[in-house]
């Protein structure tokens, strides 16, 4: 590569002249870079619009989901009993009255009056897991049934048979039982065993009889609800935990203390459905705003935006607005599996309309009122509208995705051409530097010859 030089003989600023010539030579590449930048801006704008379209699709999907239309609002007459909607497609409205006869608890067994420092406890003992039941129907679990063979637990030979080591061996056995030693007064204390799970089916028995020790049990128990108490329709339901998830479809009921006469009610959650419709309208308006921004033309500066003049994007706005202005017509499946076309008409009937600014409007109060009047009809209408909106979003997304792909290909081609010009311009700069360097050498030789001739002529005079 020829180094850059300035005119030592000619007095010319050759580096400046080369730079100016290179600017002329680089003009075609600059045009390519400008085109690539414009294409990149358009691609970014397309992707921004596409993001808004995907948001419309997501909102429309949610509007058609059965989970949305089966949203429940729950209420309980008791502060100690909570009810929560579990979502999904099983939710059903209704109410239920019950008494909380007992709440769930884990078993606790205690060996009292032990010497916590003694080393004479049995080195081996057993724990049997099983379930408790109320054999005499007095409301107290008093009968234990083993679930299988007892588990033998042994204190390692390198450890003394202390109460603390009994507890450590239990905790290392992998059972749903945890043991601890509690000092009550000096070296006096208790050896306590506690179940890690509630419910009558999660009981256990500890056999320390080899050491003359007896554990006093507070049996585990399940929560019990007496449904429709005092009526011929009375029945009981149990749960290992204090939560009942199968008593009312789509509702989880949790009781924390005994109480009589509790009523839980589940009603359709109109607010949740209305919020989903609002979200879909908002998503459509966001897309309209994005299209307007990306296609805007500033009369003052006489400059357009990235997609000014793009007909496909402009038509998108008309398509979105058209889903509202045309009203709603949809096919409904009848009980005999045939279909009929329903001409519902203007969407303003359930609160969706258009304003003068080219945006959708939504009257949440009107939508809620119509939903409360006839939830089933509104489910059909709302789902049908959301289906048409989703189909529109899918179609427009395909158009925009193709446009993005086209721009990507254009940018790749332009970048290849720009790279080719980089090589061409490097070669051109080297050629100019060599040319001007040769010029300086030639001028230097002429100057030397001129000096020599001048000296010769002076010698003849």
Domains detected in the chain:
27-67+271-419 (1.20.120), 72-102+224-268 (no CATH), 108-221 (no CATH)
Structural tokens at position 122: 């049995």
10 close to 439: Cβ distance less than 8 angstroms: yes
Confidence of residue 45 (pLDDT cuts 50, 70, 90): confident
Reported confidence tier of residue 455, pLDDT bands at 50, 70, 90: low
pLDDT surpasses 70 at 90 = no
Extract the runs of DSSP E, i.e. beta strands, from 89-242: 94-102, 108-115, 124-133, 143-146, 151-154, 177-185, 188-195, 203-207, 216-218, 223-227, 235-239
Task: Find all residues with CB under 8 Å of 362, minimum gap 6, and list them.
Answer: 277, 278, 281, 351, 352, 353
Question: Over the range 117-152, which residues count as b (16 or more CB within 10 Å of their CB) and which as e?
Answer: eeeebbbebebbbbbbbeeeeeeebeebeeeeebbe
Q: What is the pLDDT of residue 300?
A: 83
Q: Which of 296-310, 342-356, 437-451 has the lowest mean pLDDT?
A: 437-451
pLDDT at 4 over 60: no
How far, in Å, CA of 314 to CA of 277, rounded?
A: 25
- In the three-class reduction of DSSP (H, G, I as helix; E, B as strand; rest coil), residue 161 is classed as coil
Higher pLDDT pick, 46 / 33: 46
pLDDT for 1 equals 46
Q: How far apart are CA 120 and CA 118, in angstroms?
A: 6
- Which residues 6+ apart lie within 8 Å of 151 measured at CB? 126, 127, 128, 129, 173, 175
Residue-level pLDDT at 11: 54
| Residue 311: pLDDT over 90 | no
Per cent of the chain over pLDDT 70 is: 90
**180 φ/ψ angles, rounded to the nearest 5 degrees:** -155, 155
Q: Is the pTM of this model over 0.75?
A: no
Q: What count of other Cβ atoms lies within 10 Å of the Cβ of residue 460? A: 5
| Cβ-contact 28, 403 below 8 angstroms | no
pLDDT band at 209; cut points 50, 70, 90: very high
Question: Among 5-9, 84-88, 138-142, 246-250, which stretch is predicted with the lowest mean pLDDT?
Answer: 5-9
pLDDT digits (tens, 9 = 90+) for 255-290: 999 999 999 999 888 999 999 999 999 999 999 999
């Amino acid at each position: 590569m020829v180094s850059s030089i300035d005119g030592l003989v000619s007095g010319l600023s050759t580096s400046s002249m080369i730079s100016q010539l290179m600017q002329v030579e680089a003009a075609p590449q600059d045009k390519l870079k400008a085109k690539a930048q414009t294409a990149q801006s358009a691609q970014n704008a397309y992707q921004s619009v596409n993001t808004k379209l995907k948001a419309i699709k997501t909102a429309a999907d949610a509007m058609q989901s059965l989970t949305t239309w089966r949203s429940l609002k729950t209420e309980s007459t008791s502060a100690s009993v909570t009810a929560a909607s579990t979502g999904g497609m099983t939710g059903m409205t209704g109410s239920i009255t019950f008494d909380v006869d007992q709440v769930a608890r884990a078993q606790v067994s205690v060996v009292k009056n032990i010497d916590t420092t003694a080393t004479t406890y049995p080195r081996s003992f057993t724990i049997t897991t099983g379930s408790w039941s109320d054999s005499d129907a007095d409301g107290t679990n008093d009968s234990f049934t083993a679930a299988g063979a007892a588990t033998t637990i042994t204190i390692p030979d390198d450890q003394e048979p202390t109460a603390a080591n009994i507890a450590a061996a239990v905790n290392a056995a992998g059972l749903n039982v945890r043991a601890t030693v509690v000092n009550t007064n000096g070296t006096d204390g208790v050896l306590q065993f506690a179940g890690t799970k509630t419910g009558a089916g999660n009981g256990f028995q500890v056999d320390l009889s080899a050491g003359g020790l007896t554990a006093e049990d507070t049996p585990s128990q399940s929560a019990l609800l007496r449904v429709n108490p005092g009526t011929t329709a009375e029945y009981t339901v149990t749960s290992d935990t204090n939560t009942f998830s199968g008593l009312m479809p789509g509702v989880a009921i949790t009781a924390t203390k005994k109480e009589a006469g509790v009523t839980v009610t589940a009603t359709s959650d109109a607010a949740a459905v209305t919020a989903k419709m609002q979200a879909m309208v908002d998503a459509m308006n966001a897309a309209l705003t994005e299209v307007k921004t990306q296609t805007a033309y500033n009369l003052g500066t006489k400059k357009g935006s990235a997609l000014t003049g793009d007909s496909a994007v402009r038509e998108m706005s008309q398509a979105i607005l058209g889903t509202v202005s045309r009203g709603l017509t949809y096919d409904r499946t009848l009980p005999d599996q045939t279909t009929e076309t329903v001409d519902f008409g203007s969407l303003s009937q359930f609160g969706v309309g258009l304003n003068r600014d080219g945006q959708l409007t939504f009257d949440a109060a009107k939508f809620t009122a119509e939903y409360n009047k006839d939830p089933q009809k509104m489910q059909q209408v709302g789902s049908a509208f959301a289906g048409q909106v989703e189909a529109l979003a899918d179609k427009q997304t395909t158009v925009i995705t193709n446009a993005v792909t086209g721009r990507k290909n254009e940018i790749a081609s332009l970048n290849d051409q720009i790279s080719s010009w980089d090589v061409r311009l490097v070669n051109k700069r080297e050629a100019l530097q060599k040319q001007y360097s040769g010029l300086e050498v030639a001028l230097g030789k002429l100057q030397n010859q001129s000096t020599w001739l001048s000296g010769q002529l002076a010698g003849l005079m």
